[in-house]
């Protein structure tokens, strides 16, 4: 069985809650984007990884088990914080648990019909350069890597990364329609921090409760509501850049 959450503002006596049948594996669940924000801080290399998961099951069902959503992190990653937010927009602390081989984790969190977001931040040893060999548990529509403009991003040969030109003060690289067997290795070098700026004028347009998103200057990304624009990546920028308010 799965737990369900619904925001209840002060003074609320009742709330409407939709529940669904539950299965350990549900067809129609896809990873729309797997986004890595890579930067440095005084402690070394800092990574915020966000996952945007769509449940389009028909009839609608919730996927829930001890391995509701599996991820892979670098084997030497030191996890610092993690969270999840279901389609209802209520963020909760939810840490992925190790499930076997080094770097293999799973979230114990229900994937309800709609979009669920996961986020994990971790640090890595760093001596001026680092090699990443990302691994996927399932296929992803988009794998995105963001690094500061002051750092150097070097993809491995034959990897599908393409640079994206946008208005952000960052370098953004995207690989589309990626399978678990596809090579995604890359290296980074140098130092720098990614921007924290968000367009606060967008706040209140879809934010839970209509409240503006608070800006946070700590390293990492955050979960929020998307900017509805034609660019597929822009859909996720609100989450990616809105600070670590959820964590």
What is the residue-wise DSSP string for 137-188? Answer: SS-EEEEEEEEETTEEEEEPTT---EEE--SSSEEEEEEEEE-TTS---EEE
* pLDDT one-digit tens code per residue, 79-130: 999 999 988 777 788 899 999 899 999 999 999 999 999 999 999 999 999 9
More confident residue, 234 or 18: 18
DSSP 215: P
Check: CB of residue 245 under 8 Å from CB of residue 93: no
Q: Are 247 and 222 in contact (CB under 8 A)?
A: yes
Only one residue has tokens 């006596």, namely 13
φ and ψ of 244, to 5 deg: -100, 40
Query: What is the band of 169 on the pLDDT scale with cuts at 50, 70, 90?
Result: confident
Instruction: Indicate the average pLDDT of the chain.
Output: 79
Q: What is d(CA 65, CA 78) in angstroms, rounded to the nearest whole number?
A: 25
Q: Are 77 and 122 in contact (CB under 8 A)?
A: yes
pLDDT of residue 194: 87
Query: Lowest mean pLDDT: which of 40-49, 132-141, 227-236?
Result: 227-236
Give φ, ψ of 58 to 5 degrees. -135, 120
* 188-223 residue pLDDT tens: 999 999 886 433 223 333 333 333 333 333 333 344
What is the model's pTM?
0.79
Please check the confidence at residue 234 and state whether its pLDDT lies above 80. no
Phi, psi of 147 (to 5 degrees): -135, 155
Q: Which residues contact 181 (CB under 8 A, 6 or more apart)?
A: none
Say if residue 243's pLDDT is above 90.
no
Cα–chain-centroid distance for residue 136? 13
Going along the chain, which residue ranges are E strands?
A: 22-23, 29-41, 44-55, 62-63, 69-72, 78-85, 91-93, 97-98, 104-107, 114-124, 129-132, 140-148, 151-155, 162-164, 170-178, 186-190
Burial of 76 (0-12, 13-18, 19+ CB in 10 A): exposed
Higher pLDDT: 241 or 35? It is: 35
> Which tokens go with 27?
């067809």
Q: Please state, in angstroms and rounded to a whole number, the distance separating the CA atoms of residues 94 and 120.
A: 9
């Amino acid at each position: 069985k799965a737990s369900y959450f619904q925001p209840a503002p002060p003074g609320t006596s009742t709330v409407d809650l939709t529940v669904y049948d539950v299965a350990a594996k549900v067809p129609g669940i896809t990873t729309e984007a797997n986004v890595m924000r890579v930067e440095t801080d005084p402690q070394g290399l800092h990574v915020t990884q966000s996952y945007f998961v769509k449940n389009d099951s028909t009839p609608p069902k919730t996927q829930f088990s001890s391995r509701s959503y599996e991820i892979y992190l670098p084997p030497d990653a030191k996890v610092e914080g993690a969270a999840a937010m279901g389609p209802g927009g209520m963020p909760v602390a939810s840490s992925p648990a190790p499930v076997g081989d080094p770097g293999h984790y799973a979230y114990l969190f229900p994937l309800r019909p709609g979009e669920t977001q996961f986020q994990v931040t971790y640090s890595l040893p760093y001596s001026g350069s680092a090699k990443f060999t990302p691994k996927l548990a399932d296929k992803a529509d988009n794998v995105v890597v963001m690094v500061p403009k002051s750092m150097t991003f070097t993809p491995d040969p034959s990897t599908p990364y393409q640079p994206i030109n946008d208005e952000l003060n960052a370098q953004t690289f995207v690989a589309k329609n990626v399978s678990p067997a596809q090579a995604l290795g890359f290296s980074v070098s140098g130092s720098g921090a990614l921007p924290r700026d968000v367009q606060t004028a967008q706040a209140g347009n879809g934010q839970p409760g209509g409240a503006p998103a608070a800006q946070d200057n700590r390293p990492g990304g955050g979960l929020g509501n998307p900017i509805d624009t034609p660019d597929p990546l822009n859909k996720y920028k609100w989450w990616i850049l809105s600070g670590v308010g959820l964590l």
